[in-house]
Structure 1
Amino acid sequence: MLGKTIVATVLAGASGALCAMTAEDLQRADGLYQANCAVCHSASRGGYVGPPLHKDRLVQSEAALRGTIMTGIADTLMPPFHSRMSDADIRLVAQFIKTQPVASPAWTMQQVRDSLEILIDEATLPSKPTYQIDSVYDLMAVMARGRYGRGTGRDNAKVVFLNGKTNQVVGEVVTPVAPHIMDFSPADPRWAWLKSDDGYVYKIDLYSLKITRKIRTGLTGPGIALSNDGRWLAASSFVPNLVVILKADTLEPVKYLRLEGKDPDGKFIQSAGGPVIGSRINNKFALTLRQAGQIWIIDPDREGMPVAKLEKVGRMLHDTFLTPDGRYSMVASYDDNKVVAIDLKEDKVVRDIPAGCQPHVGSGAVTPVGQRMLAFGTNIGECDKGNVVTVWDTRDFSVVKNIPVAGPTESPAAHPDAPYVAVDIVSKDKRASQIQLIDKQSLEVVRTLDAGGHAFFPEYTRDGKYLYVSAGYYGDRLRIYDSKTLALVAEHKMESPAGIFSRARTQWITVGLPPTRKH
């Protein structure tokens, strides 16, 4: 279905360049692309965790593209394909992405409904964890992407679960395509929901570590969030531009919205669905429309699930996290170099906070420092402001400091019982192996860890005793450090580890706070 949709789109927009490829060539090339490339570059070829691959964005010759596909790109997620595809197929894919425009594949509400699969009768599940752990809130979930987004082996794309007290692996959940993000029920300890890079949502039982249901809510995009009462789930997509609201327990889709509207310049556009977050003062969802610069606030408890649309929020919106009271969503605006505070009680913009270069903020990190609750916002770009981590007070949104760091940063991590705020350096050189540690009292970088590989996504365990780091790309290790001494205490091999998610996140409201829910 997907391949035919994209081929139809390409044929509909045919130009002179199309003559070099027959309809049969196009269909085969698209199939090869979807099987090998879409997981990183998106189903539309418009870009995702990898750059766009279409005629309007590529400047390389077809010969150069063939070489890149064959050999890969060192120190990135781009692997060599010379042993995975034949020379003829590599030539066909290179011609396809060099000559064809970006596609617009569809995924309708009916296709969402039809994709729902029930894999396990939940009545047969165990009443407590089947592995050794004091509490499922000690679980740490690591997204292992696999080398090709599917792994070089059969089971290499998976979620690996560890006991955060013992740092031992307790189980794993295998997914056909790279897992990206996990969210947890704020109401029931046993449930988690996983989104993979091909748009599937998986409902996971944390007692048995098994997938009970799955559904495809789109074709590309990681956005997912649970409502405060655990009844509703929102899933947004880059491709197509949509958000689906589902019943969290059954994964039955109940609301489908196309994401489009006027951007800050007044141009009507279709927009990728960025991160979505669930309020903790009510049951609302706040959805980011990346290119449109809008925030849509959806109320699933009111008839018809009405949407409040906040326009002209910023340019190229991305990550978001909640303030300690759960009322304000902190939204990163890439092209404006600011973070925007959104009031989820009154559905309005309340403040622009100056940030560094292309703020990213990741999952956010807010932690008590003296009498203040300080937010630490990472900045993934480089500009004349230099490489900094932006710190602000979450009570009045005043900027406290811009802390110089070694390079662009993506994901901060904090814990009230750990002395450091950890940030990952995501430059494209040897600095990418570094995790820098900011002392919470002095607000200065005081230590640097070399984790090997490309070190990403630091996350503290529930009790704050350990810091987990994904040393991906060529590191292929999860590395675990003592949070105070920074001594390496354990490591586990896995293929391209990425995001790390503590089950305790729903106890904190946002990362770095004391528990607000007791379990």
Structure 2
Amino acid sequence: MIRSILLTAATGLLLSACAQPPLRGTGDLGVVIERASGSVQIIESDSHTALARLEGLGDLSHASVVYSRDQRYAYVFGRDGGLSKIDLLSQRIDRRVIQGGNSIGGAISQDGKLIAVSNYVPGGVKVFDARTLRQVADIPATPLADGSKRSRVVGLVDAPGQRFVFSLFDTGEIWSADFSQGASPKITRFNNIGQQPYDALITPDGRYYMAGLFGEDGMAQLDLWHPERGVKRVLGDYGRGQEKLPVYKMPHLEGWAVADNQAFVPAVGRHQVLVMDARTWRQTAAIAVAGQPVFVTSRPDGRQVWVNFAYPDNDRVQVIDTETHAVVADLRPGPAVLHMEFTARGDQLWLSLRDGDQVQVWDPYSLKPVSTLPAAAPSGIFFSSRAQKTGY
């Protein structure tokens, strides 16, 4: 009898153990967006392998990802308004909500407890509990003059002090939402910041929020240490106002690279990477490149930046030495290079080839490919190390 009870208990413990997520870390994991099929792959950088493929995540044509502080959960923001929470250990969709009609990215708060999503439709920002995905706040954007709808929201980032900062495309504003006192945020609005801010970034130290302007040249900069000074214009020659070429794809400002007090910036509508002093925000150089740059991605040690391009040059990647500003490599990975992501310590560079249906892993020191993974029209690559960075 006792033996039978012990055997039953042992069997129960064994089954319970089998039901638990595997005992392993998540710091080596990431996800690849498969934009055409509404799916993601969970990847492991050390072994260059795909661990799982998850389907049913909706429209991922402009998807982005943030991570929980423990790097276990990935939050995927879909273009269709879907917000999905993925468990990297159990390799499943933990929770999913449709929170809007047309979304353009999101952010996780400094303490990891809030998820904010920026929406075109309805215009505004919605904020959710990171554990349950229960909505905790709704921040409607400014209505348009004719009252037909609210402004589209872009450039949403997390900022120190439990803040979210974002831009209003149609009404030319930057807003800061301070959640440090609870779920009812204090909103600070900055008006007349420039025409049509289309995307934004926050510097790695969390001090400067910078919005690119679609309707005119220049960028709008907000110093979060001194918000009382308002928004000022920097980099007056950056933008679309006096474009020299048709713009096939607007560069993502997250693709800026900062290295050795220099900011390397994709020029809009030009075959150039602009360089500016990251202390004065004045342009110091312009580097000629093969096409219109989209992402300018810095190797973690800051010695190189890798640049990919809009059509028709999107089969190329160029590597720039940040010390000499020389193009030291002109690579041809394959058709439609959409995104690049370094591992946290810079030993690998992963890039996605949408039209080649694959993800490639490169050695950034030898400048040679080391591995290839099949993927269905891949776009964004996001490693869990982003969890420890502001603005990612």
Distance 1:175 1:345 in 2: 42
1:479 maps to 360
1:205 maps to 87
Shift of 1:125: 5.5
Distance 1:293 1:273 in 2: 10
1:458 maps to 340
2:306 maps to 422
Contact conserved, 2:78 with 2:105, CA < 8 A, in 1? no
2:117 maps to 235
1:396 maps to 280
Deviation digits for residues 372-426 of structure 1, max 9, x if unmatched?
Answer: 2x222223x42xxx32222223222222222222221222211233642011111
Distance 2:173 2:148 in 1: 12
SS in 2 for 1:238: strand
Deviation digits for residues 421-473 of structure 1, max 9, x if unmatched?
Answer: 0111112x2x121112111111232211112111111111122111111111x
1:375 maps to 263
Q: Name the aligned partner's letter for residue 364 of structure 1.
A: G
- Aligned residue runs from structure 1 range 80-229, under 5 A: 126=21, 128-129=23-24, 135-146=25-36, 151=37, 157-179=38-60, 180-185=63-68, 187-229=69-111
Of 488, 492, 496 in structure 1, the residue corresponding to residue 369 of structure 2 is 488
Of 165, 179, 182 in structure 2, the residue corresponding to residue 300 of structure 1 is 179
Q: 1:507 to 1:404 in 2, by over 3 A?
A: same
Q: Name the aligned partner's letter for residue 70 of structure 2.
A: D
Question: Is 195-204 or 254-263 further displaced after alignment?
Answer: 254-263
Q: Which runs of 4+ in 1 moved over 6 A?
A: 266-269
1:360 maps to 251
1:53 maps to none
Shift of 1:269: 6.9
Contact conserved, 2:65 with 2:74, CA < 8 A, in 1? yes
Distance 1:339 1:299 in 2: 23
1:117 maps to none
Q: 1:456 to 1:220 in 2, by over 3 A?
A: same
SS in 2 for 1:215: strand
Deviation digits for residues 175-199 of structure 1, max 9, x if unmatched?
Answer: 34233110112x3222221111211
Distance 2:158 2:20 in 1: 27
Distance 2:386 2:75 in 1: 13
User: What percent of counterpart residues are identical?
Assistant: 26
Q: TM-score when scaled to structure 1? A: 0.65
Higher strand proportion? 2
Deviation digits for residues 490-514 of structure 1, max 9, x if unmatched?
Answer: 1112121111112112334368xxx
Shift of 1:282: 1.0
Higher RCO (CA < 8 A, seq sep 6+): 2
Q: TM-score when scaled to structure 2? A: 0.84
Contact conserved, 2:316 with 2:332, CA < 8 A, in 1? yes
Q: 1:461 to 1:318 in 2, by over 3 A?
A: same
The two structures, once aligned, show a CA RMSD in angstroms of: 2.4
Distance 1:414 1:162 in 2: 21
Of 281, 284, 293 in structure 2, the residue corresponding to residue 409 of structure 1 is 293
| Aligned residue pairs, count | 360
1:289 maps to 168
Gaps of 5+ in 1: 1-123, 130-134, 152-156, 512-519
Shift of 1:203: 1.4
Contact conserved, 2:67 with 2:74, CA < 8 A, in 1? yes
Distance 2:120 2:151 in 1: 8
Find out whether 1:509 has 2:381 as its counterpart. Answer: no
Q: Name the aligned partner's letter for residue 422 of structure 1.
A: W
Gaps of 5+ in 2: 1-18, 241-249
Distance 1:392 1:136 in 2: 36
Contact conserved, 1:414 with 1:459, CA < 8 A, in 2? no
Contact conserved, 1:366 with 1:510, CA < 8 A, in 2? no
Contact conserved, 2:336 with 2:356, CA < 8 A, in 1? yes
Q: 1:274 to 1:232 in 2, by over 3 A?
A: same
